[in-house]
Amino acid sequence: MNDLARFSINQMTVKQLSLPELVDACVRLGVPGIGLWREPVAAYGLEATAELVRNAGLTVTTLCRGGFFTTAGGLDDNRAAVDEAAALGTDTLVLVSGGLPPGGKDLPAARSLIADALTELAPYAASRGVRLAIEPLHPMYAADRCAVSTLDQALALAEPFPASQVGVVVDTYHIWWDDRAPAATARAGAQGRIHSFQLADWTTPLPAGVLTGRGQLGDGSIDLRAWRERVDAAGYTGPIEVELFNDGLWARDGLEVLEETARRYVRHAL
Amino acid sequence: MNDLARFSINQMTVKQLSLPELVDACVRLGVPGIGLWREPVAAYGLEATAELVRNAGLTVTTLCRGGFFTTAGGLDDNRAAVDEAAALGTDTLVLVSGGLPPGGKDLPAARSLIADALTELAPYAASRGVRLAIEPLHPMYAADRCAVSTLDQALALAEPFPASQVGVVVDTYHIWWDDRAPAATARAGAQGRIHSFQLADWTTPLPAGVLTGRGQLGDGSIDLRAWRERVDAAGYTGPIEVELFNDGLWARDGLEVLEETARRYVRHAL
């Protein structure tokens, strides 16, 4: 099998590339999948993006992102995100659920708000052929981005819904430290709820704001191959998406970074 | 009861104060306890520090820190830390256990190294009248500082030993995000293994390196009173130590920061 058969590049990894540049690079390098973000898609145009990707024969593995359910008024925007996912032809909308409400200190209450929002959003997404994928974010984001900090918590939020409607994202960067994550991965796989599998490495020191320090594959502390094998063993056969937010990578030539990322994927994850 | 009866100031919170300045400030403000660090103690002199603190009638609630068991050659230094704790008259040595060995990617193996080191160190500490207190550090430190990321993991490492030899540190900054930490706190308390209770608040954005962003009590996202009540409910009756690493606080007048910290403690934790 082609080494890159399951590889998908999340566009944030090479955000210095325009959508046409990215699509062209994927075609030239034999990268079959891309993960998209709403903002650059909107800037290029939703229909234009869908057509560009479709004509190139690429699979859109995920759209990032819906969520932020813990602040008021987000449901309309989440329905729009579902519609955009459907228009792009992807079956998976990634959810970053939101942190504490302003001034809040109650994480369980924030998770309840998230559960309530899913009850509204999941049937709507299902009606559009889109699965919701709850992404647990590293605990360092619990206050301001995502009150869902573990795969166990994400699964608990997903389990009231059919697996075809709501599942989870397994992202090595966010869960690698968690001794309970391997068991949760097996459970998620057995339930058919691994809706996305994403790779990034953990490097230190973290940059200020801790948003743009995700390491290139192989540069950090995560045994990426062990995680790929674990997710495979859980029954997952889908795309493997590489999503890096990294100032150093963004400062370089995008095509070079994409080539490097594909090489690192083969070397460290396959 | 005096509002500050259980209050202890960790000297890192006001590291701009010399040891005599800190001790004098504690006496003037009615602060009965201090947590000390090995480096400033060594700089002032171990015996001189012990005498200074003893003459002022202060209780040394903890000494920070032993640990870093995952890199070679640490055991002699840990025995020295135990000796220093005994000389200072504190019953508690805080352990920051160490992260991955250089180039390592195996967190369970790192935790095994920590367990092995405890087997050597705990009896020695007990022979000197010193309890070891394993501090789980926030998962953002798992790679480079502490492979023990949850209170559950810390307890699992402590449980093979008598509670009088090895226990845990409950530090709100490190565990506030963890939905399993309340149950682990209750278990630790029931076992008599809460050997230190420390407060710091969680504020964002985190600074580069994520070491010096611990928030002043009340400035962040942690329900500190709920944690104090939870730890009390677990049967803990000991000192409550405030340990903040914060560039902003360090830039201010140390006495003013100590006064503020005591006020915040009364307002947000009692």
Over residues B28-43, the pLDDT tens digits come to: 999 999 999 999 999 9
pLDDT given for residue A72 in this prediction:
72
Range A116-121 average pLDDT? 96
The model's pLDDT over A135-169, given as tens digits with 9 standing for 90+, comes to 999 999 999 999 999 999 999 999 999 999 999 99
> CA quadruple A44, A48, A52, A57: dihedral positive or negative?
positive
> CA quadruple A83, A86, A88, A90: dihedral positive or negative?
positive
Q: Environment class of residue A115 by beta-carbon count within 10 Å: exposed (0-12), middle (13-18) or buried (19+)?
A: middle
Of residues A178, A209, A221, nearest to B206 (C-beta)? A209
Contacts of A84 (CB under 8 A, 6+ apart): A38, A41, A42, A46, A63
Best residue of B114, B137, B140 to probe chain A, by most A CBs closer than 10 Å: B140
Contacts of B192 (CB under 8 A, 6+ apart): B163, B164, B167, B235
State how many domains chain B has: 1
Range B79-103 average pLDDT? 96
Could you tell me which residues are beta bridge partners of residue A202? A214
pLDDT given for residue A115 in this prediction:
96
pLDDT given for residue B264 in this prediction:
98
Closest CA to A217 of A186, A247, A157, A172: A172
Contact B40, B11 (CB under 8 A): yes
Spell out which chain A residues touch chain B, with contact meaning CB-CB distance below 8 angstroms.
100, 104-108, 138-140, 142-144, 149-150, 153, 176-179, 202, 204-210, 220-223
**B96 φ, ψ to 5°?**
-100, 110
Q: Which residues of B touch A176 (CB under 8 A)?
A: 107, 142
Contact B28, B54 (CB under 8 A): no
Cβ atoms within 10 Å, residue B164: 14
Q: Do B179 and A108 touch (CB under 8 A)?
A: yes
pLDDT given for residue A7 in this prediction:
98
The model's pLDDT over B205-263, given as tens digits with 9 standing for 90+, comes to 999 999 999 999 999 999 999 999 999 999 999 999 999 999 999 999 999 999 999 99
In a domain, A1, yes or no: no
pLDDT given for residue A28 in this prediction:
97
In a domain, B144, yes or no: yes
- Does residue B65 have a cis bond before it (omega within 30 degrees)? yes
Q: Which residues of A touch B178 (CB under 8 A)?
A: 139, 149
In a domain, B130, yes or no: yes
DSSP codes, A8-48: EEEGGGGTTS-HHHHHHHHHHHT--EEEEEHHHHHHH-HHH
For residue A81, the SS3 value is helix
Could you tell me which residues are beta bridge partners of residue B92? B131
Q: Do B143 and A220 touch (CB under 8 A)?
A: yes
Shortest Cα–Cα distance, B2 to chain A (Å): 28
pLDDT band at A1 (very low <50, low <70, confident <90, very high): low
Which stretch of DSSP H or E encloses residue A266?
helix A254-268
Q: Cα(A220)–Cα(B103) distance, rounded to whole angstroms?
A: 8
Record the tokens describing residue B77, joined without a space. 């230094």
Beta strand B214-215 with B33-37 is unpaired
Q: Do A208 and B204 touch (CB under 8 A)?
A: no
In a domain, A107, yes or no: yes
Whether the complex's predicted ipTM is more than 0.90 is answered with yes
Q: Environment class of residue A251 by beta-carbon count within 10 Å: exposed (0-12), middle (13-18) or buried (19+)?
A: exposed
In a domain, B2, yes or no: no
Q: Which amino acid is at B188?
A: A
- Does residue B205 have a cis bond before it (omega within 30 degrees)? yes
- Residue A181 domain boundaries: 7-268
Q: Do A210 and B140 touch (CB under 8 A)?
A: yes
Q: Do B202 and A143 touch (CB under 8 A)?
A: yes
Closest CA to A137 of A174, A168, A107: A174
Closest CA to B178 of A148, A154, A68: A148
Q: Cα(A187)–Cα(A189) distance, rounded to whole angstroms?
A: 5
Shortest Cα–Cα distance, A30 to chain B (Å): 30
Q: Cα(B246)–Cα(B200) distance, rounded to whole angstroms?
A: 10
Q: Cα(A185)–Cα(A151) distance, rounded to whole angstroms?
A: 7
Q: Cα(B66)–Cα(B80) distance, rounded to whole angstroms?
A: 9
Indicate if the pLDDT at residue A178 is higher than 60: yes
In a domain, A128, yes or no: yes
Q: Cα(B231)–Cα(B166) distance, rounded to whole angstroms?
A: 18
Q: Do A105 and B210 touch (CB under 8 A)?
A: no
Q: Cα(B153)–Cα(A77) distance, rounded to whole angstroms?
A: 40
Contact B196, B223 (CB under 8 A): no
> CA quadruple A65, A188, B181, B11: dihedral positive or negative?
negative
In a domain, B1, yes or no: no
pLDDT band at B140 (very low <50, low <70, confident <90, very high): very high
Range A125-144 average pLDDT? 98
Q: Average pLDDT, whole number, for chain A?
A: 97
Range A109-131 average pLDDT? 97
DSSP codes, chain B: --TTTTEEEEGGGGTTS-HHHHHHHHHHHT--EEEEEHHHHHHH-HHHHHHHHHHHT-EEEEEEEEE-TTSTT-HHHHHHHHHHHHHHT-SEEEEE-B-PPTT---HHHHHHHHHHHHHHHHHHHHHTT-EEEE-PPPGGGTTTTBS--SHHHHHHHHTTS-TTTEEEEEEHHHHTT-TTHHHHHHHHHHTT-EEEEEE-EE-SSPPTTSSSBEEPTTSSS--HHHHHHHHHHTT--S-EEE---BHHHHTS-HHHHHHHHHHHHHHHT-
Q: What is the CATH number of the domain that holds B254?
A: 3.20.20.150
Beta strand B7-10 with B131-134 is unpaired
In a domain, A261, yes or no: yes
Separation in Å, CA A95 to CA A126, A168, B99: 15, 9, 31
Contact A208, B206 (CB under 8 A): yes
Closest CA to A116 of A155, A60, A75, A81: A75
Q: Cα(B75)–Cα(B124) distance, rounded to whole angstroms?
A: 11
Range B129-147 average pLDDT? 98
The model's pLDDT over B40-72, given as tens digits with 9 standing for 90+, comes to 999 999 999 999 999 999 999 999 999 999 987
Q: Which residues of B touch A108 (CB under 8 A)?
A: 179
Per-residue DSSP letter, A211: S
Q: Cα(A5)–Cα(A3) distance, rounded to whole angstroms?
A: 6
pLDDT given for residue B245 in this prediction:
97
